[in-house]
Amino acid sequence: MTSAMDSGAEMGQGAAAASSPDERETQKRVRPIPRITIQAFCEDQGTADILQQAAADRRLAKAHVTVQMGGIPAAVAFYQNAATPNLIIVESVYDREPLLQDIDRLAEVCDMGTKVIVIGHVNDVVLYRQLIARGVSDYLVGPIKPLQVMEAIADIYVNPEADPVGEVIAFVGAKGGAGSSTVCHNTAWAMSRALRSDVVIADFDLPFGTAALDFNQDPMQGIAEALSDPDRLDAVLLDRLLAKCSDRLSLFAAPGTLEWEYDLEPRACNTVVDVVRQNVPYAALDVPHLWTSWAKDVILQADEVVITATPDLASLRNTKNLIELIRPARANDGPPHLVINQVGVPKRPEIPVADFAQAVGLNPTAVIEFEPHLFGTAANNGQMIEEINDKSRQAEIFHELAFVLTNRVEPKQQTRSLFAPILSKLNMKKTG
Ligand SMILES: Nc1ncnc2c1ncn2[C@@H]1O[C@H](COP(=O)(O)OP(=O)(O)OP(=O)(O)O)[C@@H](O)[C@H]1O
Ligand SMILES: [Mg+2]
């Protein structure tokens, strides 16, 4: 068996380093922000640039963000004659007293319901307390980072108790038949069991999707009905449209017929993913191998992206192109995950895993051997790999993938404090 999960260290020099667990924790903690209006008034061009970077992030795709210069005085002048937005972000380079005086002037022109985040340059706890006492939502000490700003905004507008937001993992194949759906279904199944968490598989391959077959379910209108009238989709309808595969795993199944043509709208896909995200802790999106505006959008908006590739030249080119498109478009996220699948087909020449990793600049998160009997039996029986052989290395890989993709540590390996995410958050706030 070729190296797997943690073999990254031996891979090619050119391969990109993944984010650290703490960085990934922050990336995940920061949830997509609703359709609010945000206006920022900066003093420093560097801060304005960071806010522009945040504004271009997928998490702020729905919000309307404008960034201008002039700090608090410019904001006060601007709102003399204009209604204030949902959120104002102001930067000040002053110390406690002059900054508080500026904030008091801003408060006089603020409408009810407008929130304020202050970016300052002094690390002063007394100032922080006085700002909070005046109703300021957060005080960040510069120099700031894009994720830090997004986290501060998400803390105000995305309340995890009232509005649980799930994590979305998009699976896409580097070429047709690479095994992306197989990886998606087996990993989602492992997630539902190992994490004891609810998972929905959404099969976006409407005419040819195999999720219903793989779970031995009758094909249903499920996802097609949701996509045809996305604004009608709510928690109740979602429940009705989902096929239950097990206690914790449900399927947003594709019709799997050619009775209709399916020209999907990016907005419809987005709305459907949003509703799933609001109602289920984990969504595994089975995205077919095609390049349309909706498929691109679904991939770029996901929390994690998994590219499944076979070790050949066409997959290599496509993987490289996908990574080169995904990385800059998701600058505040970790790189996509690469699964190299069907390694070791007898008599078929292939690109060695290390060379593949070096060429695409990314270490594989998993490498899966070609096992026609195991995978063929599972596919024909409508079963998962673990159900066919729970001792197989392949079942173990899907189990490990479930933990890696959700940034969980397997209980037996857990060495970090349970409070680590909270501590790292406090630490980030403190050090700014
Ligand atoms: N590691 C493997 N060893 C052997 N067969 C495999 C392996 N992985 C997947 N397969 C088989 O390859 C076939 C294609 O898999 P799958 O449908 O998951 O690919 P896909 O990338 O989703 O394809 P499509 O482009 O049609 O969506 C299936 O029959 C599956 O059982
Ligand atoms: Mg598929």
Question: Starting at the edge strand that comes first in sequence, how are the strands of the sheet with 115-120 ordered?
Answer: 64-69, 37-42, 87-91, 115-120, 138-141
pLDDT greater than 60 at residue 11: no
Predicted confidence at residue 165, as pLDDT, reads 66
As a whole number of angstroms, the distance between CA 194 and CA 402 comes to 8
Q: What are phi and psi of 323, to 5 degrees?
A: -65, -40
Percent of the chain with pLDDT over 90: 70
Q: Are 402 and 283 contained in the same domain?
A: yes
Q: Does residue 46 form part of some domain? A: yes
Whose atoms come closest to the Cα of 397: which ligand?
Answer: 1
User: Which ligand lies nearest to the CA atom of residue 185 in the structure?
Assistant: 1
Taking only the tens place, the pLDDT of each residue in 232-262 is 998 888 888 999 998 889 999 999 999 988 9
* Distance of CA 54 from the midpoint of ligand 2 (Å): 33
Q: CB of 352 closer than 6 A to ligand 1? A: no
Strands 249-252 and 304-309: unpaired
Protein residue whose Cα sits closest to atom 27 of ligand 1: 288
In a domain, 430, yes or no: no
Per-residue pLDDT tens digits for 83-104? 888 899 999 999 999 999 999 9
Q: Does position 163 have pLDDT exceeding 80, yes or no?
A: no
Bridge partners of residue 283, in order along the sequence: 168, 200
pLDDT at 420 over 90: no
Task: Judge if 341 and 325 occupy the same domain.
Answer: yes
* Residue spans of beta strands (DSSP E) within 288-385: 304-309, 337-343, 366-369
Is there a single domain that holds both residue 205 and residue 130?
A: no
Where in the sequence is the domain holding 223, given as residue range(s)? 162-414
* 253 & 372 share domain: yes
Tens-digit pLDDT profile for residues 306-318: 999 999 999 999 9
Point out the ligand 1 atom lying closest to the alpha carbon of residue 308.
21
Amino acid letter, 44: D
- Same domain, yes or no, for 152 and 175? no
In a shared domain, residues 224 and 359:
yes
What confidence category does residue 16 fall into, taking pLDDT thresholds of 50, 70 and 90? low
Average pLDDT of the chain, as a whole number: 88
The Cα 281–Cα 421 span in angstroms is 18
Which ligand is in closest contact with the Cα of 388? 1
Residue 5 resides in a domain: no
Nearest atom of ligand 1 to the alpha carbon of 286:
22
Residue whose Cα lies nearest atom 28 of ligand 1: it is 179
The atom number, within ligand 1, closest to the CA of 343 reads: 1
> What was the pLDDT predicted at 26?
80
**10 occurs within a structural domain:** no
Where would I find the H helices in 15-44?
21-29
Q: Token digits for 243?
A: 């096929």
Domain boundary among 157, 183, 202: 157
pLDDT of the residue at 15:
52
261 C-alpha to ligand 1 centroid (Å):
24
Shortest-distance ligand to the CA of residue 308:
1
Query: From the alpha carbon of 341, which atom of ligand 1 is closest?
Result: 1
Residue 357 and residue 245 share a domain = yes
Q: For residue 75, is pLDDT > 50?
A: yes
Predicted local distance difference test score (pLDDT) of residue 412 = 56
Centroid of ligand 2 to alpha carbon of 256 (angstroms):
12
Residue 178 Cβ contacting ligand 1 at under 6 Å: yes
Confidence of residue 293 (pLDDT cuts 50, 70, 90): very high
Lowest-confidence region among 11-15, 66-70, 202-206, 353-357: 11-15
- Within this chain, do residues 61 and 125 fall inside the same structural domain, yes or no? yes
The pLDDT value recorded for residue 9 is 36
The tokens of 228 are what?
A: 């045809």
Span 356-373, average pLDDT = 97
pTM: 0.79
* One domain for residues 57 and 202: no
Mutate to test the pocket of ligand 1, among 205, 375, 384 (most ligand atoms within 8 A of CB): 375
Helical H runs in 195-312?
211-214, 222-228, 235-241, 266-279, 293-301
Cβ 71 under 6 angstroms from ligand 1: no
Query: At 80, which CATH number?
Result: 3.40.50.2300
Helices and strands counted in the chain (H then E): 18, 13
